[in-house]
Amino acid sequence: MNIRTFCPASLIPRCRFHSFQLHRFLVTSAGDKSKAALDSKAFSKTLLLPKTSFPLWAEPSKSEEPYQKLTCDNLYKWQWENAKGPLFVLHDGPPYANGNLHMGHALNKIIKDIINRFHVSLGHKVHYIPGWDCHGLPIENKALQELGKDALSLPSGMIREAARETALREVASQKSQFQPLGIMADWNSPESTYRTLDHHYEIRQLRIFQKMVEQGMIYRHYRPVHYSPSSHSALAEAELEYKDDHVSHSVFVTFDLDNKASFNSTVLQELINSEPRVRLLVWTTTPWTLTANMGIAIHPELSYVAIRQMDEEKGGQGILIVAQERVEPLAEIIGRVEVLAILKGSELLGASYLPIFTPLSLSSTPLKILPASHVTSESGTGLVHCAPAHGAEDYNVFRALGLISSSHTMICHVNDAGKFSSDVADVVGEAAAQKLIGQEVLGNGSKAIVELLKEIGCLVKIKRIKHRYPYDWKTSKPIIVTATSQWFANLDRIKDNALTALKEVSFFPPQSRNRLESFVRSRSEWCISRQRVWGVPIPALYYIATDRAVLDSETLDYILGILEEKGVAHWWDGPVEDFVPPALREEGVAVSEIWRKGTDTMDVWFDSGSSWSMLSEMGVGNGRGKEGARRFDADVCLEGSDQHRGWFQSQLLTAIGSAPTEAEPVSPYGTLITHGMVLDEKGKKMSKSIGNIISPMTIIHGGKNKKSEPAYGSDVLRLWAATVEYWRDMSIGPKILAQSAESMRKIRNSARFCLGNIGDAVALSKLERVPHSQLGLADRYVMHELYTLEQTALEGYASYNFPKVMNALNNFANITLSSLYFDITKDSLYANSVNSVQRRAVITILEQILLTMTKVIAPVMPHLAEEIHATWKSDGQSVFTSKWTPLSSEWEDPRAAKDMHDLIRIRMTVLSLLEEARSQKQLKSALEAEVDIIVPNGAANHPLLELLQREEHFLKTLFIVSDVTLTDEGSLGTTSPEWVHADTVSISGTEDDIAIRVRPSSLNKCPRCWTYTRPEDDKLCARCEDVIGGG
């Protein structure tokens, strides 16, 4: 067998003989009446067998619930009052207060709690205030469903009160589900939790809004915005999700050039003079916007062609105009063609054409062909239908050309329900309008438009296309772009400052920085108004005569003073007279005849994005320039990766936007951590329709069928969360949970071994401890490994790499301890005298193992750590109340590690030979064997041989045999054992081998310790004789 360099994990195999070690001290067969068996039974009372009340496994109700309050609510209060270390603030992103917790919630809160508990264990003062996002459409809709009436028939005050009750009920429900996860927080104190519906929270939010108004960032504009018919509200870009499989009905349609007009282009004029009908071919994926057409855009630098269709089946009449480069790609649509003329795009500019629905309308005004740089020849026809009310690019073209300046010059026929309004009759006539009015533009309304296009003969082709399209991320329904009057925040003014502030922020994983920076960089404005009643109002006053909005710092100061005194709900319930400052009143005219209150509410991202201000109010946030103050409001914010476009971004924007212009830009957080999505065991997204949802409450408490859905408790769930690479998408399921439960059982088993041998509530006095100088190689080795584990844990926790910690812990518990140290120390623990140096050395090590391992597992498995601590110390205190004091570096002992690795390589060969003997039924116990290590004569000075000589007395303990003889080739003698198994181990750096020989023991079995070390005439082996005689 060649000597190689292995990591410790690869060097320590499990063996069938390991289970024998404890068994030999505990079991005497009931049917074995031999004298040896009787003797063994008689001596069993003299053994120091492990005793502990700590079970190998227990129901979560017994092992976790007794420690729930101690390690959660009480611990949070204790550390806040007593911790002397530096302040650590983890700012909780508020989950939406709607529905039961899912695995994403559980993962999120557990990871946060692991971080917080690590800091508490170091003696830091942790500030953690759980929160909830309480406004918005889902809660409002749930309240309306419970009221059983349509929103339009109810006063806003009734809806708001019902929504408030719904939100508070959902908060209470979610809180009751968060607590069993073992989250350390003061859950039952209103001051130690927050809700975005809290009065003080809403006032702080409005003050932030006021500061942004003062900075000139807030403005109202009538323009196309993302609008959700399903939510009846405008949406910001951050509230959209794009689906790649959306299906639209695209249409190719024609617009007739106005043959009564004169044209600047000679070529175009000649075409009009020679042909009764010259048409512009246009393609659009939103046929419902054709009623709002206000122009056709072309690119002045592109070449266009006038063509005549040659195939009658294509329905060609007259002449078509398309981009020259699009003729071939459009062959399927237009067929074979004859090119009559080539025109530069500039020659088409200013030409007049007739609105597409002219045949249906009694009167219509010709429209113009316009220049636009965004028009290309890569798709479509090279001519683009422009509806500035329904497209940002179209709107920008018209604004740049000075063609629109107010809402009166932009055509829009869509109401707030996403349906055609009665105004559409102005374009299509009264008769055709009856087919459109009240129809959803994304549904039957679009189909009705297609029928009208067929009727008037301008539909060339209709095609179904699958393409990327925006959806409302709350309702998962498609949105539209339509013109409405909305409030916006100008982000161009603060974008550079926001990006500068992010340079100081740390990101985990590091690549997530690019995601947030790209979102910030790509946004120019933020639509902050929503058309709902359940939210924080935008407290603007409107001059009734002109609908002009008044929103300035002075007016806001007056209004916010009223709301601060009477509550934000007073904006909805109080009369307008309460909010109009004296400077805006007119003598002799009733205020209500001049002014009205605005009904828009703020985007819920503005709500949650204002949460950083709470930290400053509590005295733990950014001192905003004060000497000696904290740099950031929060040390850490941790949420799912989707929050780069949500909460991470909205916090940054409100903090930078409300800061004084001259202030240095500072982010509200110092570190951002993101986690992925929790998937099922097959890597699929959890879904009700698939039926693969796993509830965290089912994992903790068990399902209806406890066999298929056992109650694992929270620590198993927490161990899973700490084991997976949470910064990526991760899987969970029955098999994975069973693996986590088994890992925890092994950790419990290690703790149980330590507790059983130390003794419950017993600790060595300083006098009984064995000093470092008297420790054996195995003791020093395991302390080196314990030191390494602790250093790995401290670094892993500090860098948020929890899987690194858990892997190191599992390797230490399963390999270093269970497969090696525990196995080789059982003999001295159970059979040596209570005060022997060797036994006290092991107890000294076990105490330190238990202490350090408990500190390592405590952030992840707090209930287990508390259970271990309570069993051991019985002091009624939390394990977290004693500071984690790392081991001294004196325990770092690479020499001991190397020596043990060298000996373990030999041990592997010995165990293999013992297994051969067992398989041939030559022995049952490894203690029935002795080992000869035969050293070659030429390698006497090799370090490995020096090690063997130095540790010769330890080898039988390491191999768990009755004796080991270290000899040379010439000293073997001529005795022939009953059986022999042999192998070799090469000596590194030489051509020599060490020979390993396993043979039956030459002595007799000791009835007390079962080792084969008793001379024939003696009753016990020498060691046991000394223990019994001394006792």
- List b or e across 96-130, with b for residues whose CB sees 16 or more CB atoms inside 10 angstroms: bbbeebebbbbbbbbbbbbbbbbbbbbbbbbbbbb
Mean pLDDT for the stretch of residues 902-914: 95
What is the overall mean pLDDT for the chain? 89
Range of the domain at 1002: 908-1030
pLDDT of residue 28: 42
Do both 759 and 855 map to the same domain? yes
Q: Containing H/E element for 20?
A: helix 20-26
pLDDT of residue 56: 86
pLDDT of residue 179: 95
Chain centroid, CA 810 distance in Å? 24
**Residue 119 DSSP SS3:** helix
Do both 49 and 134 map to the same domain? no
- Residue 897: phi and psi, rounded to 5, are -65, -45
| Range with lowest mean pLDDT among 122-126, 270-274, 320-324, 395-399 | 270-274
Mean pLDDT for the stretch of residues 325-332: 88
Per-residue pLDDT band at 748 (split at 50, 70, 90): very high
pLDDT of residue 617: 85
Per-residue pLDDT band at 488 (split at 50, 70, 90): very high
**CATH number assigned to the domain comprising residue 639:** 3.40.50.620
Of the candidates 526, 525, 527, 507, the one whose C-alpha atom is nearest the C-alpha of residue 517 is 507
pLDDT at 35 over 60: no
pLDDT per residue over 618-677, tens digit each? 878 665 545 456 788 999 999 999 999 899 999 999 999 999 988 899 999 999 999 999
For residue 654, give Cα distances in angstroms to 131, 218, 611, 951, 995. 18, 12, 10, 68, 75
Q: Containing H/E element for 907?
A: helix 894-919
Per-residue pLDDT band at 19 (split at 50, 70, 90): very low
Domain final position from 444, 468, 492: 468
**CATH number assigned to the domain comprising residue 301:** 3.90.740.10
DSSP 533: S
Q: Kind of pairing, strands 295-298 and 384-386?
A: antiparallel
Is residue 122 situated within a structural domain? yes
Do both 37 and 89 map to the same domain? no
Is residue 181 situated within a structural domain? yes
Mean pLDDT for the stretch of residues 880-892: 95
- Residue 833: phi and psi, rounded to 5, are -70, 155
- Residue 353: phi and psi, rounded to 5, are -140, 165
The residue behind tokens 């246009």 is: 282
**CATH number assigned to the domain comprising residue 934:** 1.10.730.20
pLDDT at 40 over 70: no
**Residue 17 DSSP SS3:** coil
Per-residue pLDDT band at 155 (split at 50, 70, 90): confident
Do both 925 and 856 map to the same domain? no
Per-residue pLDDT band at 151 (split at 50, 70, 90): low
Cis peptide leading into residue 509 (ω within 30°): yes
Is residue 592 situated within a structural domain? no
Do both 665 and 735 map to the same domain? no
For residue 162, give Cα distances in angstroms to 142, 149, 165, 198. 9, 12, 5, 15
Do both 930 and 1026 map to the same domain? yes
pLDDT at 507 over 90: yes
Of the candidates 792, 781, 841, 843, the one whose C-alpha atom is nearest the C-alpha of residue 815 is 781
Of the candidates 336, 588, 645, the one whose C-alpha atom is nearest the C-alpha of residue 473 is 645
pLDDT per residue over 808-832, tens digit each? 999 999 999 999 999 999 999 999 9
Alpha helices in 185-248 (DSSP H): 199-214
Is residue 521 situated within a structural domain? no
Other CB atoms within a 10 A radius of the CB of residue 946 amount to: 11
pLDDT of residue 15: 45
CA torsion, ordered 614, 615, 617, 618, to nearest 10 deg: 120
Domain final position from 860, 895, 930: 895
pLDDT per residue over 766-799, tens digit each? 658 888 889 999 999 999 999 999 999 999 999 9
Three-state SS sequence of 339-397 = EEEEEEHHHHCCCEECCCCHHHCCCCCCEEEEECCCCCCCCCCCCEEECCCCCHHHHHH
Edge-to-edge strand order for the sheet containing 319-323?
A: 337-344, 303-309, 319-323, 278-284, 240-256, 459-472
pLDDT of residue 30: 40
* Gap between the Cα atoms of 921 and 839, Å rounded: 33
Q: Kind of pairing, strands 194-195 and 131-132?
A: parallel
Contact 290, 385 (CB under 8 A): yes
Of the candidates 132, 129, 65, the one whose C-alpha atom is nearest the C-alpha of residue 96 is 132
Do both 311 and 171 map to the same domain? no
DSSP states of 908-923: HHHHHHHHHHHHTTS-
* Gap between the Cα atoms of 535 and 887, Å rounded: 53
Mean pLDDT for the stretch of residues 305-312: 83
pLDDT of residue 330: 87
Q: What is the pTM of this model?
A: 0.86
Of the candidates 783, 808, 781, the one whose C-alpha atom is nearest the C-alpha of residue 794 is 808
Of the candidates 391, 474, 447, the one whose C-alpha atom is nearest the C-alpha of residue 646 is 474
pLDDT of residue 355: 93
Percentage of the residues of the chain whose pLDDT score is greater than 90:
62
Half-sphere exposure of 577 (CA within 13 A, CB side): 6
Is residue 39 situated within a structural domain? yes
Handedness of CA 568, 570, 576, 577 (dihedral sign): negative
pLDDT of residue 522: 87
Report which listed range, 25-39, 117-131, 141-155, 452-466, is most confident.
117-131
More confident residue, 288 or 968: 288
Q: Classify residue 572 as exposed, middle or buried by CB count within 10 Å of its CB (0-12, 13-18, 19+).
A: middle
Q: Containing H/E element for 170?
A: helix 156-178
Contact 481, 226 (CB under 8 A): yes
Do both 51 and 76 map to the same domain? no
Domain final position from 676, 696, 711: 676
Is residue 707 situated within a structural domain? no
For residue 740, give Cα distances in angstroms to 182, 218, 861, 870, 1031. 17, 52, 12, 23, 45
Do both 749 and 876 map to the same domain? yes
pLDDT at 394 over 70: yes
Q: Classify residue 443 as exposed, middle or buried by CB count within 10 Å of its CB (0-12, 13-18, 19+).
A: middle
Do both 160 and 42 map to the same domain? no
Is residue 520 situated within a structural domain? no
pLDDT at 762 over 80: no
Do both 133 and 174 map to the same domain? yes
pLDDT of residue 14: 43
| Range with lowest mean pLDDT among 12-26, 232-246, 386-400 | 12-26
Structure tokens at 375: 């028009």
* Gap between the Cα atoms of 850 and 701, Å rounded: 28
* Gap between the Cα atoms of 370 and 401, Å rounded: 9
For residue 268, give Cα distances in angstroms to 303, 334, 369, 787, 809. 14, 21, 13, 87, 82
Report the amino acid identity of residue 779: D
Per-residue pLDDT band at 10 (split at 50, 70, 90): very low
Is residue 562 situated within a structural domain? no
- What is the number of structural domains in the chain? 4
* Gap between the Cα atoms of 11 and 363, Å rounded: 92
DSSP 875: S
* Gap between the Cα atoms of 941 and 960, Å rounded: 27
Do both 261 and 194 map to the same domain? no
pLDDT at 4 over 50: no
